[in-house]
Structure 1
Amino acid sequence: MVHIAVAAMIAGSQPASAQPVRHDDVIGIPAVYRTRSSDTLLDIARTYDLGYVEIRAANPGVDPWLPGEGTPIVLPTWHVLPDAPHRGLVINLPELRIYYFPPGDAPVSFPIGIGGEGKETPVGQTRIAAKRTHPTWVPTASEHAEEPDLPAVVGPGPDNPMGDYALYLGWSGYAIHGSNKPYSIGRRDSHGCIRLYPEDIERLYRSIAVGVPVTVVNQQAKVGWSGNELYLEVHPTQSDADALETTGAPRSTTPVDADDLVRRKAGFELERVDWTVVHEAEARRDGVPVQVTRALGD
């Protein structure tokens, strides 16, 4: 059995008190929400700062539009930190999340929308090159090719898909910005830019300075320590995520192979690793961290 610690939540209420995971390789608090009859997964995702694919991956078989009264919804609100320098911004494409490491403070994470197939957000290192409130959107040639009726320029306002805040990257044509389509957060629906909920980009914009480094990685599996226990977090592939959006289930049944990651991170504690739990997580690919070490003394 895989044991995931969750804090029960009452429908329509704030999370019940829970012991937060220690701020080492894992951040956040695991939780479960019980639905009201009027809830949809989109509503719940927005309320708890989650993306659409991640909430569907964590809740297989749940109807996104009619989850039903009293249905327990796993909230993937805790995360293993990506294996990247813990400075500035780190974007992990498979999990559709951005991490901010403020100097001298605990890291925070936000759901994002990224580029779809053929329009992928690039991997690598760059920086925040400029900041702008109420940005002007200039559609690219490829966007005009897809939608010939697009105007040459879209000024600030509700029709601007960049929202009210933009952080321009050192890569020409790419930015981290808001969106006038909040339902696109947690999906691969952009032309390569990184989208955030309006409230998240406003918070990030006010905290970020020009010159802050930005690292974009592609890590489908992440492994990290919290206290004395090792955790594994496995996300769906892009094709699986596309299928999750439409059908609620991954397209592939092939497990992710994260065994080597687990071995390297476990180090001298390798004998404590429960490989049954590891392989179940690799097959499930639900984006929820699971403890893969047996408790000390077991």
Structure 2
Amino acid sequence: MLSRVFAACSLSIAALLSANPVSALELPLPPPGDDIVGQVQVIKAKYEDTFADLGKTYDLGYQEMIAANPGVDAWLPGTGTEVIIPTRFILPPGPREGIVINIAEYRLYYFPKGKNVVYTYPLGIGREGWGSPIAHTSIVAKTKDPAWYPPASIRAEHAADGDPLPTVIPPGPDNPLGPYKMSLGVPGYLIHGSNKKFGIGTRTSHGCFRMYNNDVTEIFPMVPVGTSVRIINEPYKFGRAEGKIYLEAHTPIDDHGNPSVVDKHTAVINALLKREDIANQMQLDWNTVRDVVAAEDGLPVAIAQPTPPQSSVAASENAVQNP
């Protein structure tokens, strides 16, 4: 696995092992025409480390850590075990503006207006039966120290499990909305904090988008009411970097946030066709594509070199024939 990371990201071992933890990911946007931000990191686990704690430290969700580290015990990696910190991302397709949520990767991207950076944060999304919406909406309201008024459907669910809820839960450590909430134009759905860090990066919510409390505290003052929010479901992202074409693959889920059984070959082709700027300008290595799709580890991997312009091809052929 580590050799695959090195090949995919072209990073030295020294650079990887010297990476420092972060509390939030603020990353400079790539040069025009490129799509990849951040760097993969590798750390040596300490005895007390768990994936949940490492995720909190490096601003990653639980599922991201699991996917990038197959075969490593999430609750007891073991002292000295090398753990991949997957903090390199292909930016989501479409306009780089406002908030973009990709439920397939349990992640939010925020492109602040007038700044050449992107902020990206892990999310908890809707669990089975309570899927998060796919929509193009906006932030319609912001609330500090929100009270929670559990809807009747959630109160009934908790009552059936022997855990009745009150009609209102005031602000504080027991409030599942955390210190801040941002209401979406889709009625009933929020971006908010959480009093359960283990739910970040998993399918555990009733459809809302949960954030670590330190993350929602950071993003809350930056995002004005009216900000565009585009919620997408893209398990396969293509992008350019340093003259190469990359693919990043995640486990597909359906548009309701539930596990999806799809024809992965067709899904990858459809994702590629959305990127018309690269679909006709590449020499695709399908063996590598199959490996990336099978791994579903969320790590961007080079899958193609851009096709040279026809004039360059003709010139090269002429040079070979007439040295």
Give the TM-score, by structure 1 length.
0.87
The partner residue of 1:4 within 5, 8, 22 is 8
1:194 to 209, 215, 240: 209
Amino acid at match of 1:270: M
Q: Which residue of 2 aligns with 1:261?
A: 271
Whole-angstrom distance in 1 between the partners of 2:270 and 2:206: 33
Question: Alpha-carbon deviations, 1:155-189, whole Å to 9, x = none?
Answer: 10111000001111112111100001011100110
- Aligned residue in 1 for 2:282: 270
> Distance in 2 between the 1:143 and 1:119 partners?
10
The reply on whether 1:280 has 2:291 as its aligned counterpart is: yes
For 1:247, the equivalent position in structure 2 comes to none
Q: Is the 8 A contact 1:25 1:80 kept in 2?
A: yes
Which residue is equivalent to 2:187? Answer: 172
**Alignment equivalent of 2:123, drawn from 105, 112, 115:** 112
State whether structure 2 residue 135 is matched by structure 1 residue 124.
yes
Q: Contact conserved, 2:246 with 2:301, CA < 8 A, in 1?
A: yes
**Residue 92 of structure 1: which of 102, 118, 135 is its match?**
102
For 1:92 and 1:253, how far apart are their aligned partners in 2?
A: 18
Comparing 32-41 and 121-130, the one that deviates more: 32-41
Distance 2:175 2:293 in 1: 40
Partner residue in 1 for 2:241: 226
Deviations 1:51-86 (A, max 9, x none): 000110010111011111111111110111111221
> Unaligned 5+ residue runs, structure 1?
244-249
**Matched ranges for 1:41-60 at <5 A:** 41-60=51-70
- Partner SS state of residue 191, structure 2: strand
Worse-superposed segment, 287-296 or 145-154: 287-296
Aligned to 2:320: none
Q: How many positions carry a matched residue from both structures?
A: 282
Per the normalisation by structure 2, the TM-score is: 0.81
For each residue in 1:245-279, what CA deviation from the matched residue of structure 2 results, as whole angstroms up to 9, or x when unmatched? xxxxx9989755413434645344322x2221111
* Aligned counterparts of 2:135 and 2:101: Cα–Cα separation in 1: 10
Counterpart secondary structure, 1:222: strand
Shift of 1:237: 2.5
Give yes or no for contact 1:81–1:224 (8 Å, CA) kept in 2: yes
Cα distance in structure 1, aligned partners of 2:206 and 2:280: 44
1:49, 1:110 within 8 Å by CA — same for their partners in 2? Answer: yes
Shift of 1:25: 1.1
CA distance in 2, matches of 1:251, 1:168: 28
Residue in structure 2 matched with residue 211 of structure 1 by the alignment = 226
TM-superposition CA deviations, 1:92-137 (whole Å, max 9, x none): 0010000001112211210000111110011011111111100010
CA distance in structure 2 between the partners assigned to 1:48 and 1:21 by the alignment: 19
Structure 1 SS opposite 2:109: strand
Contact 1:162 1:177 in 2 (8 A): yes
For the 8 Å contact 2:177–2:194, the answer to whether it is kept is: yes
- In terms of fraction of residues, the more helix-rich structure is 2
Query: 1:140: which partner in 2?
Result: 151
- Structure 2 runs not aligned, ≥5 long: 22-27, 309-323
Q: SS state of the match for residue 107, structure 1?
A: strand
Secondary structure in 2 aligned to 1:4?
A: helix
- The whole-number CA distance in structure 2 between the counterparts of 1:155 and 1:147 is 18
Who wins on radius of gyration, i.e. which is larger?
2
Taking every aligned residue pair, what percent have the same amino acid on both sides?
A: 40
**What's 1:76 paired with?**
86
Residues 222 and 232, structure 1, Cα contact 8 Å, conserved in 2: yes
Please state whether the residue corresponding to 1:27 is helix, strand or coil: strand
